Amino acid sequence: MTAIIDNQKQRLALRVREYLQAGAVRARFAVGYLFLEGLVPLQSEIERLESVEILIGNVVNRLTEEQVREEAATRQRGGEEWVRPQEDVAATLRNTHDRAAVETALNLRNTLAALPHTSENQALLLCLARAVAQGRLKVRVYTQGRIHAKLALINYPEGNSFSPGLAVVGSSNLTLGGEAHPTELNVVVTDRESVAALEEWYLRLWDVSQDFHRELFDELGQCWALA
């Protein structure tokens, strides 16, 4: 089955909610920038799912790991090849990851401060804090560049009509609350080979990303909703 989600006609989060409500047990999202208010339609499913992962992108320009390693591999100085010590490479990469976590936390703090003080938003933030505390919600920041492709991977138990899973891939960020970019398109993929390829893409980014759920929990704990 292949289905097209036209963002002019339906918000991606609402379609994803339908797929989650079909008996899903796990969801993984690559969203680029995290707009918390857009998760409101998914709150009840986040409460229910066994596992939720959210991969968010780096929003500040910086050297990618590939650029750092290329620079470190060889550099010409006065006609002689210069190799940066490996410990310098590791330190540079650690600093890159640390800056990403700090800057992402600051962006999240500003987002939380600007979030309208509604009962729906408060319920969502409480839900996210509980899910992190229970270990069901994991968040990581991809520090090696920007995430342009957006992806939702949804898994189902054996015997479900969608088992073992499906994927929604495209240009829409499901955490956007409105239809800021109405010309975006997304494709629902269900054949196993394609879903497996998309899972491989997601895991490749996830594995080199930096944990952020602790920072998320700390920022949620200091925001107006949990004060």
Q: For residue range 10-68, list pLDDT tens digits in order.
A: 889 999 999 999 999 999 999 988 888 889 999 999 999 999 999 998 654 333 344 43
Domains, the chain? 2-222 (3.30.870.10)
Alpha helices in the chain (DSSP H): 12-20, 43-48, 65-73, 86-114, 119-133, 192-207, 213-222
- Report yes or no on whether pTM surpasses 0.85: no
Per-residue confidence band for 193, with pLDDT thresholds at 50, 70 and 90: very high
CA nearest to 142, candidates 88, 101, 107, 90: 101
Per-residue confidence band for 98, with pLDDT thresholds at 50, 70 and 90: low
For residue 170, the number of C-alpha atoms closer than 13 Å in the C-beta half-sphere is 24
Instruction: Give me the mean pLDDT over the 156-177 stretch.
Output: 92
Residues 198-209 have pLDDT tens digits of 999 999 999 999
